[in-house]
Amino acid sequence: MPALATKPNILLILADDLGFSDLGCFGGEVATPNLDALAKEGTRLSGFHTASACSPTRSMLFSGTDNHLAGLGQMAETISQNEVFQGKAGYEGMLNQRVAAISEILQDNGYGTYMSGKWHLGMTPDSLPHARGFDRVFGLLPGGGNHYGYEPYLDDGTPAVKVLPPIYVEDGNFVDHRTFAKPFYSTTTFTNRMLGYLEEHESTKPFFAYLPYTAPHWPLQAPPEIVAKYRGRYDDGPEALRQRRLAALKREGLVDENVTALPIVSTFEDKPWAELTDEEKAVSSRKMEVYAAMIEVMDAEIGRVVSWLKETGNYESTFIFFCSDNGAEGAMLEALPVLGEEFQKTIERFFDNSLDNIGRYNSFTSIGPAWAQAATAPNRMYKAWITEGGIRCPALLRYPNFRNGEISHEFCTIMDILPTILEMAGISHPAPEYRGRKVLQPRGRSWVKYLTNKAEYIHDDNAVHGWELFGQSAIRQGSWKAVWIPGKDAKWSLYNLASDAGETTDLADDEPERLTEMVRLWRDYEAETGVVRLDPDQAFALRGYGFYRGTEQ
């Protein structure tokens, strides 16, 4: 496709662990007027898919190819503690050199490139965002951090919260978070930095702005006055919320009116809502109130960026894309074997998780598996699961002359973003060689023809898509999806998502020939992408790294 009359500006916004039904425009009760307005003007994507966890998804976004090829075959945190993955191609634990990053390609083609937010694609000098194509960077390198910048230290001078160390970079330099201007709140600070970069941008060039927030990733923290707006909203529990959202999704036309959802499954040490004491219910619902407040704040900050685009005359020339990186997080932090007993001791020593303090700078909580399943309605389970609750995510886009005011139910993936942007900008992908090294072609497909009504679909029914993470595996062709989850007597299950988006009915026994073919396609995908094959015991052992127990099938 020839370049558009002028190359478009690009604004990519990522939420962190946002569920499918959390936004107002996706059936949720959380106040998200700015994203709702973009959705009304643009296109909502009900069939958008990612990986089931943070960094694998980001590697797919930046490379346009599978995470097992791009360097995050497993999360770096998993690779470092499991020898079976170490030294394997595609398991470098960072965005590897076999791919050309979208930021690098756009930088080479005259774009000003800016990032503010979470990176999670490497911490070595050659894997930092500044080294992978960004002109200006304010980046948090690990998978998350305290949203208020509160980082207690041990007696030896090291950060107390080992799982999320406060490692930040500005451009190509590491910086001490203790020097940041106060008040600090992650979502607002990331927005401020991005707006500063855009203000300094040379107006004769197009820009690529990448704004990956850490909200609503744990620890749950938000301004008390926003939390107060949701007081009492969740007092009837997660199953009631899941059903309300499912009804809203149906009314909006985001899911089929006949779709059913599995009841919420109790996982980890999470007790059913009906078995909780009044005090336990109050604590649980307060966590959800804070989670909702984090989403509302993120929406307000996105509104600031959209206002800047309008005030500066850039709105009509900017392709805006928003999505979550995976499903809502369902981990109970205190029950995760990968974090260990020392993590719980750290929480008890340095943080106050009493009811009235939940959500403040010195609290450290997560919503847990039941609320996460409400957040992913009508899908099954949540982040780290290869079921739809882990990989089917809210997404929307807005750009003039594309399909606008619509809901698209087309299957699509985050790998499609890179080829879409390149086609919009009239840029060819540099494969097979880039900057003196061999690089891979994208596996994703451009949406441009579909969004300009020149094609009826993005991926045809013969296209095959695979997922594998934390020992779980899935393969999809058309509306058929086969899933393998490690556990006692584990076996492949089969679902027809066209009639069963909630993955409620296993058709493996009814469709044996279809299942055999799907497993064959899985083996082909496994070979093509270099998935490290695990025996059942190895796969089951990864359940703690995936923030699930592996027994909730």
Strand partners for 496: 480
Task: Give yes or no for a contact between 214 and 147, defined as CB atoms under 8 angstroms apart.
Answer: yes
Beta strands in 273-381 (DSSP E): 318-324
Burial (CB count within 10 angstroms: exposed 0-12, middle 13-18, buried 19+), residue 111: buried
Instruction: Give the C-alpha separation, 124 to 110, whole Å.
Output: 26
The answer to whether the beta carbons of residues 437 and 81 sit under 8 Å apart is: no
Distance from C-alpha of 7 to C-alpha of 1, rounded to nearest angstrom? 12
Nearest 10 degrees: CA dihedral of 220, 327, 396, 476? 170
328 touches 18 (CB < 8 A): yes
**Set 54, 323, 393, 412: catalytic member:** 54
Respond yes or no: is residue 465 known to be catalytic: no
Please tell me the distance from the alpha carbon of residue 439 to that of residue 355, in angstroms, as a whole number. 52
Annotated catalytic residue within 25, 49, 68, 120: 120
Contacts of 17 (CB under 8 A, 6+ apart): 54, 216, 217, 218, 324, 325, 326, 327, 328, 329, 383
In sequence order, the 6+-apart residues with CB closer than 8 A to the CB of 205 are 110, 111, 112
- Phi and psi for 396 in degrees, rounded to 5? -150, 155
Are the CB atoms for 506 and 515 separated by under 8 Å? Answer: no
Amino acid at 272: P
What is the spatial distance between Cα 371 and Cα 355, in angstroms, rounded to a whole number? Answer: 17
- 323 catalytic? Reply is no
Phi, psi of 81 (to 5 degrees): -115, 10
Token pair belonging to 45: 């994507």
Residue 482: phi and psi, rounded to 5, are -110, 140
Please identify every residue annotated as catalytic. Answer: 54, 120
